[in-house]
Amino acid sequence: MAKEKYNVAVVGALGVVGTEMIRTLERRNFPIGEFRPLDIPENAGKEVTYNGEPVKVQAAVKENFKDIDIAIFSAGATASQALAPQAVEMGAVVVDNSTAWRMDPECPLVVPEVNPDDLKWHKGIVPNPNCSTIQMVVALKPLHDAGKIKRVVVSTYQAASGAGMKGLQGLTDEAEEYLKTGKRVAPRVHAVQLAFNAVPHIDVFQEHGYTKEEYKMIGETQKIFGDDSIKISPTAVRIPVWYGHSESINIETEKKITADQARDILSKAPGILLKDDPANNVYPTPLDSNEEDLTMVGRIREDLTIENGLNLWVVSNNIRKGAALNAVQIAETLIRMDLVRV
């Protein structure tokens, strides 16, 4: 039976995403009884602010999940693999932002606007999809429902914050040095300099020349849609912006969807903000995502090279909807569907 308030832990509370998770819980007035920030033992005793009050960080160890109803993780795959089962054992439902559980067949991979009913078969751990996958499926699901998507070609333009705090600092340091010297600088985080550049290399290269990031988009999208027949060809690129992932998406559908029909469909879809008036320079950009929770869609046009094709430009804040917000929305949906074990 649902409760009025829930005890919530945020694991990795001092990181970029953990900090945004705390802000998101505050902003959405999440029904929290006790708020418990957890982080690596070395950070125990530090403080975070929740609803204007300082709260001491505790060590992310098994005993500190006692009496926790919902544990939202942003601590990396290694920590999640070790700690998430322990949190479940202590009675919590885990929403995990790492790669650890996404493709586990025992764990539903959920975007609440897309496949909330998959939460019904969770066994204690609900992984959060990859940031680039989340915004793509939010935009594509209404079109998939209307015309059944056969094929997706997507190029991502991903912000430096996708690499965490080190990605943000690395971009800043590179830019400052480049502006001082005017010469190519040593890369701080990526394989080559990111400042004033575009790097078509996110995560590790795998077979057939695709990166792990690109393979994530394939497997995760098929899992979320429950349809392995959808063909997906991604290229993931890091660009020198702080926040906001952009995606150029081309889809082919079984049933014809005109650009006007797509605009109408997307204007009514949950989680989407339509910004599509290019004649007046209205289209989404990464800067627009800084204070925006919705996934923005624009530049909708028909692909003139095939019969049933559409092109879209999709932008979303990778730290908000791409991580913290989606995790909190999963927790909210678990509560609404009375799927929190208490």
Marked catalytic residue, from 107, 131, 144, 190: 131
Q: For the chain, report the end-to-end CA distance as a whole number of angstroms.
A: 8
Residue bearing tokens 């998507």: 149
Work out the number of other CB atoms within 10 angstroms of the CB of residue 34.
13
Residue whose entry in the numeric block shows the structure tokens 């957890």: 38
Cβ count within 10 A of residue 36: 22
E strand or H helix at 234: strand 231-238
Q: How far is CA 201 from CA 122, 235, 282, 318, in A?
A: 33, 9, 30, 17
Strands (E), 40-109: 47-50, 53-56, 58-59, 70-73, 93-96
Residue 236: strand pairing partners: 156
Set 122, 144, 190, 245: catalytic member? 245
Strand ranges in 92-169 using DSSP code E only, listed in sequence order: 93-96, 125-127, 149-158
Contacts of 271-275 with CB under 8 Å at 24 or more apart are 271/113, 271/138, 271/295, 271/321, 272/138, 272/139, 272/142, 272/296, 272/297, 273/297, 274/298
Which residue in this structure is represented by tokens 């890091």?
238
144 given a catalytic annotation? no
Give catalytic status of residue 245 as yes or no: yes
How far apart, in Å, are the Cα atoms of 305 and each of 252, 302, 311? Answer: 11, 9, 11
d(Cα 232, Cα 276) in Å, to the nearest integer? 25
At which residue do the structure tokens 């505790």 appear? 58
Handedness of CA 215, 276, 319, 196 (dihedral sign): positive
Task: Report helix, strand or coil for 263.
Answer: helix
| Catalytic positions, written as ranges | 131, 245
